[in-house]
Amino acid sequence: MRSLLLTLGIAMLLSGCSTSKGQVPAPVAEKIPHVMTLHGVTRTDDYYWLRDDERKDPKVLAHLEAENRYTAAYFKPLKPLQDGLFKELTERLVADESSVPYQWHQHSYYSRYKEGGEYPLISRKGADGVEQVMLDVNERAQGHEFYGLGGASVSPDETMLAFGEDVLSRRVYHIYFKDLASGDMIVDVLENTEGRVVWANDNKHVFYIAKDLQTLLGYQVYRHELGTKQSSDVLVYEEQDDSFYISLGKTLDESQIVLFQESTMTSEVSVLDVSEPLGLFKPVLAREEGHEYSVSKLGDTYYILTNWQATNFRLMKVAIKDAADKSKWQEVVAHNPNARIEDELVLKDYLIIQTRENGLTRIKVMPFNGQKPFELSFDEPAYVMGLDVNAQQDSNKLRIFYSSLTTPEAVYEYSLVNPDRRDLLKQDQVLGGFDASQYRAERVFITARDGVKVPVSLVYRKDKFNKDGTNPLYQYGYGSYGYTVEPDFSSSVISLLDRGFVYAIAHVRGSEMLGRPWYDDGKLLNKQNTFNDFIDVTTALTAQGYGDKNKVVASGGSAGGLLMGAIANQAPDKYFAIAAHVPFVDVVTTMLDESIPLTTNEYDEWGNPNEKTYFDYMLSYSPYDNVTEQEYPHMLVTTGLHDSQVQYFEPAKWVAKLRDVKNQWYKSDDKVLLLNVDMEAGHGGKSGRYRQYQDTAQEYAFFLSLLGMAK
């Protein structure tokens, strides 16, 4: 690599710019103008050359390696701090952690870790109570820098295991099959898939989704017969609309294979009788633009969760034979403009509904036998609960999970016959002397600039907080795709709280924390609300004494990295330091390129910039396009060379542009700007139970050292 750098020295232009701890000069990327004109607007991208879809260009790799050396030099003096944090984070983990077993057919299934293992053992026990390790993921991962396990699926007769593997971190999986009686792998291998199969009842046919290797979209469903070559597999469905994702599942009674076809605003469900694997998928109801629905089956009836004439969704039921006729749908749970129905579970004698109202999840049980409905409730100010694994439809028990900012995740089992009975099956242990009574969580509402009240979840250590504006504040956010960042427990956050931080989750618009309208008000031509909310939360929290306005750090990843890029441009003075992980920052250029993974699926989220209205609006906030001559916060930017969601060149270009501005206009500026490129990982960062905490330790060391809290 040393000779390679010398050969390509002209590209690196290592000028007299600022150095990291006086050691390695910051790499300055060569400027090669790439001109793009659309809708009468000309943009010049000087760093477009950093895109290499093959990830083999020596010049590009040399630049990324130079960035990594610069970052490594910065962190070298911080190694004792970073190592100490990693030790602290991982020592809270129970070495032999295991999941709560659940009964399916004749076995009880679970996963567990062995001491020191990075990956789980996928296991089961029969009536004799003897454990069978179906898959030791540590053995499969051996020799791979990255390893991702796809879906693990057991055949209906429980004799075969199918599982997916990704060793490149591009979320493209090979599927393998294992004979559970002999322990031998069979010869069948399915390549370039989504990573999981759904079994037909004959135990010899499986269905899987194939990926387009350019866009990385799963768009074809194939049927495979065990013992045959993949080249002989039968294409049974191909999605023609590249704005749709597809996925496969089964009804709870295992009578139908379900094909889900979903875009941001429209969905369709198709089914296939599981006993007739050579048949065709048939839609429950043909897709209608703007209509989203899902289906649960009970006998000859479908329960349909739908947004038809119901922004926050309602639950309907209909005889299966009449499902395509909406006039025959009967309302079971009415639309509530103040509560979003998020999920439903249909058991033989009970209907369970999960809703979110005023930002808090609720679970309501509605017996079919006339028994009075009842609700499962908890009394903490900010928490999350949801339906856990409930694998049998003919059951009078219900499993849920529960967690809060101060309560490690617990799994409870309710007797639906006796709703006053609740059994705690398991609560995560936190080693290292964690005492929940030392911490306090709060839930506050902050009034944004347009008068809308934004929910915020807060947690801090009681003896280190006086609400006097002296605490460092760590603020996290996401705000896209309707995804809600839950106020659940994170053992890693303890390392911040014990050092006096207040930890805040800003539930900004673009999530569904306050229902579907909350999402709609933070996407497309309303996207700026997401950024305004986050900034206004920062302003209010510091004004109210929750944090020192000079010690605010912020973090977000992926679409949350877009949020970080936007606030860095729009309110740099509000933030002392920012961590942007795998950030989506080159919005306009990416959304104009349909060859980039996920682009076409996301027109309903961001807009299609081929239309001038969306082009202009996206251009107004795109972080890369709005880098300007101003002083930015300290920034740590991370990415993975093999990222399949946000391509590595977005953050690489962004850092190059930020550094150019810094070098040209702020030569006396001592603000830190780092890019860390994991040359082996993808969107999710490092794999492995322990190794993933290396990234957290790096971020925490970055913030703590800058704040003078390294000791």
Residues annotated as catalytic are 558, 643, 683
Rounded Cα distance between 89 and 32, Å, is 43
> Mind giving me the DSSP string for 419-432?
TT-EEEEEE---TT
> What are the CA-CA distances from residue 50 to residues 4, 53, 59, 140, 654 (Å)?
17, 10, 8, 34, 11
DSSP, res 325? -
580 φ, ψ (degrees, to nearest 5): -115, 110
What are the respective helix, strand and coil percentages of the chain, to the nearest 5?
Answer: 25, 35, 40
What value, to the nearest 5°, has the Cα angle with vertex 538 and ends 533 and 544?
120
Closest CA to 162 of 144, 181, 175: 175
Whole-number Å distance between alpha carbons of 416 and 422: 9
- Residues 12 and 28: their CA atoms lie apart, in Å, by 6
* Residue showing tokens 């109801």: 285
Helix 58-75 with 649-665: angle, nearest 10 deg: 70
Q: For residue 139, what are the contacts with CB-CB under 8 A and spacing of at least 6?
A: none
Q: How far apart are the first and last CA of the chain?
A: 36
Q: CA angle 470-475-480, nearest 5°?
A: 160
Evaluate whether 653 touches 661 at the Cβ level (below 8 Å): no
**Calpha distance 180→133 (Å, rounded):** 9
Parallel/antiparallel/unpaired status of strands 634-640 and 577-581: parallel
Distance CA 388, CA 390 (A): 6
Angle at 111 (CA atoms; ends 161, 349), nearest 5 degrees: 85
CB 519 within 8 A of CB 117: no
Q: Give the span between the Cα atoms of 5 and 13, in whole angstroms.
A: 11
Q: Is 469 left (phi over 0), alpha (psi -120 to 50) or beta?
A: left
Q: Cα dihedral sign for 368, 371, 372, 373?
A: negative
Euclidean distance between CA atoms 498 and 500, whole angstroms: 5
Overall residue count recorded for the chain in this entry = 711
Residue with tokens 């004749």: 106
Q: What angle do CA 242, 243, 247 make, to 5 degrees?
A: 85
Give the span between the Cα atoms of 309 and 321, in whole angstroms.
22
Contact of 623 with 655, CB cutoff 8 Å: no
Helices (H), 491-527: 494-497, 516-520
Phi, psi torsion values for 289, nearest 5 degrees: -55, 125
**Host H or E run for residue 692:** helix 692-706
Question: d(Cα 509, Cα 116) in Å, to the nearest integer?
Answer: 41
Contact 405, 487 (CB under 8 A): yes
3-state secondary structure 333-373: ECCECCEEEEEEEECCCEEEEEEEECCEEEEEEEECCCCCC
Distance CA 281, CA 277 (A): 10
